[in-house]
Amino acid sequence: MLTQEKVSLIVNLGRDMSSAKDLDILLDRLLADARRFTNAEAGSIYVKTGGSLSFAYTQNDVLQRRLAPGKKLVYSTFTLPIDQKSIAGYAALTGRIENMPDVRRLPPTAPYSFNPEFDEATDYRTQSMLTVALVAQDAEVVGVLQLINARDASGRVVPFAAEDEPFIRSFAGSAAVAIERAKMTRSMIMRMVEMARLRDPLETGMHVKRVADYSLLVYERWAARRGAAAKDVERDLDALKIAAMLHDVGKVAVSDAILKKPAKLTPEEFDEMKKHTWLGAGLFDDGHSPYDRAAASIALHHHERWDGSGYPGHVRGDGTPLPGFAAPGGGARGRKGEEIPPFARVVAVADVFDALSCARCYKDPWPEERVLETLRAGAGSHFDPEMIDAFFFDLDAVRAVRARYPEPEAETERVRR
């Protein structure tokens, strides 16, 4: 690739990054972009959290090809200290680029070492590696980008080109700024979730993260089966991730006596609970961004049911029925089938799966088999059957999300009390 082409590509990659608002979507995108620029077959991103590095995201074409088409690569998360012992830790400590032709033949003077445990566990071989600290404008390290096994035109693993290092450093600077911005957005969202949690003991940070990630898995598979364009899906996933985390934010307007009641609600109490849908949607109804529209749609409609028996149905912003949609027994006629927006249909599946799988003040967590049977039984009545098919396509990825965001034991005990 000619130098001018590389400059143009880096500029375009920076523009691509600026369009992603969610942190996890951004990490996925910037890792894919960096790999494409260097023709790396794999890579990982670490995000600085406190005084350590959190292994946040990974991609690996070799391991991905071993999976059935459409399945997600499942990996464990962990943390590393920022010190000289690991390659990523050293890059974060020094802010330097480390370009290693072969990590298994490091020079004796290298302060760090290569840990082969991942390779041994997955039958993979790491050889060339390019590691660069993600340094923001204030010289603060926000993470580390690690690219693995550059390949030449014939597909052979080769060292990363030294002449690419300035471009990657420039890319890393843009990525660091984008990560800081996305972390700020995530922080604001989690503050809204925490505000809801102060009222509703079920609305925990881990719950909303799981619901959002389950929703992404299901929606991406559903959209692929529908033949949606990759660019459209990429845009939708960014909006969906943020909006799904805010699905129950309207519960801040519901009384504690109802939210924290450890028993079945009366019909009158349930009517009050239903208000959280249109009250939550009202927080976003004056917005013009795709994120506001997605958040309003999900908040309003994630309790609709495929057969039309859900709520709140066809309502105005104040919860009153739209003209021609008043139900005989009061309220509005429920939306059914594809009258329910796709984002709301997918969050309905994710929210119920998580609610049944976790402890609540009125129940213990259900065994996974019982939860899955309930979801299957609800296809065509409670849930969109295509969304249920998409959910069951990759249960290993679903379980990985659940393992990544466990409820702290203290939180589980608080909910039970």
Mean pLDDT calculated for residue range 11-33: 79
pLDDT of amino acid 203: 62
pLDDT of amino acid 262: 76
pLDDT digits over 123-134, tens only?
Answer: 999 999 999 999
pLDDT of amino acid 414: 46
Joined together, the tokens standing for residue 192 give 């809204």
SS3 for the chain, per residue? CCHHHHHHHHHHHHHHHHCCCCHHHHHHHHHHHHHHHHCEEEEEEEEEECCEEEEEEEEEHHHHHCCCCCCCCCCCCCEEECCCCCHHHHHHHHCCEEEECCHHHCCCCCCCCCCCHHHHHHCCCCCCEEEEEEECCCCCEEEEEEEEEEECCCCCEECCCHHHHHHHHHHHHHHHHHHHHHHHHHHHHHHHHHHHHHHCCCCCHHHHHHHHHHHHHHHHHHHHHCCCCHHHHHHHHHHHHHHHCCCCHHHHHCCHHHHCCCCCCCHHHHHHHHHHHHHHHHCCCCCCCHHHHHHHHHHHHCCCCCCCCCCCCCECCCCCECCCCECCCCCECCCCHHHCCHHHHHHHHHHHHHHHHCCECCECCCCHHHHHHHHHHHECCCECHHHHHHHHHCHHHHHHHHHHCCCCHHHHHHHHC
Structural domains for the chain? 3-181 (3.30.450.40), 200-416 (1.10.3210.10)
Model confidence band, residue 412 (pLDDT cutoffs 50, 70, 90): very low
Model confidence band, residue 415 (pLDDT cutoffs 50, 70, 90): very low
Model confidence band, residue 8 (pLDDT cutoffs 50, 70, 90): low
pLDDT of amino acid 11: 63
403-408: Cβ within 8 A, 24+ apart: 403/76, 404/77, 404/213, 405/206, 405/209, 405/210, 405/213, 406/206, 407/204, 407/206, 407/207, 407/358, 407/359, 408/206
Dist. CA 300–CA 334, nearest whole Å: 12
Tell the burial category of 344 from Cβ atoms under 10 Å away from its Cβ (0-12, 13-18, 19+).
Answer: buried
Mean pLDDT calculated for residue range 47-51: 91
Joined together, the tokens standing for residue 129 give 């590696």
Best CA proximity match to 302, nearest among 220, 247, 384, 249: 247
Model confidence band, residue 4 (pLDDT cutoffs 50, 70, 90): low
**Could you identify the residue written with the tokens 């296809």?**
379
Joined together, the tokens standing for residue 416 give 């039970």
Dist. CA 89–CA 103, nearest whole Å: 15
The phi and psi torsions of 222 (rounded to 5 degrees) equal: -60, -45
Q: Give the Cα-Cα-Cα angle 45, 127, 108 (nearest 5 degrees).
A: 100
- Which of the two residues, 76 and 370, has the higher pLDDT score? 370
How crowded is the C-beta side of 22, counted as CA atoms within 13 Å?
22
- Which of the two residues, 237 and 414, has the higher pLDDT score? 237
Mean pLDDT calculated for residue range 61-88: 93
Model confidence band, residue 263 (pLDDT cutoffs 50, 70, 90): confident
Question: Does position 10 have pLDDT exceeding 70, yes or no?
Answer: no
Model confidence band, residue 416 (pLDDT cutoffs 50, 70, 90): very low
Bridge partners, 129 (sequence order) = 100, 148
Q: What percent of the chain has pLDDT over 70?
A: 92
Joined together, the tokens standing for residue 263 give 């028993």
pLDDT digits over 354-404, tens only?
Answer: 999 987 766 789 999 999 999 999 999 999 999 999 999 999 999 999 999
Mean pLDDT calculated for residue range 2-26: 70
pLDDT digits over 330-353, tens only?
Answer: 889 999 999 999 999 999 999 999
Dist. CA 189–CA 167, nearest whole Å: 33
- Residues 257 and 385 sit within 8 Å (Cβ to Cβ): no
Model confidence band, residue 13 (pLDDT cutoffs 50, 70, 90): low
Q: Give the Cα-Cα-Cα angle 221, 227, 233 (nearest 5 degrees).
A: 60
Q: How many CB atoms lie within 10 A of CB 245?
A: 27
- Residues 142 and 176 sit within 8 Å (Cβ to Cβ): yes
Mean pLDDT calculated for residue range 77-95: 94
pLDDT digits over 188-210, tens only?
Answer: 888 888 877 776 666 677 899 99
Amino acid identity for residue 396 in this structure = D
Least confident of 11-20, 245-254, 388-397: 11-20
Best CA proximity match to 133, nearest among 124, 123, 122, 146: 146
pLDDT of amino acid 409: 63
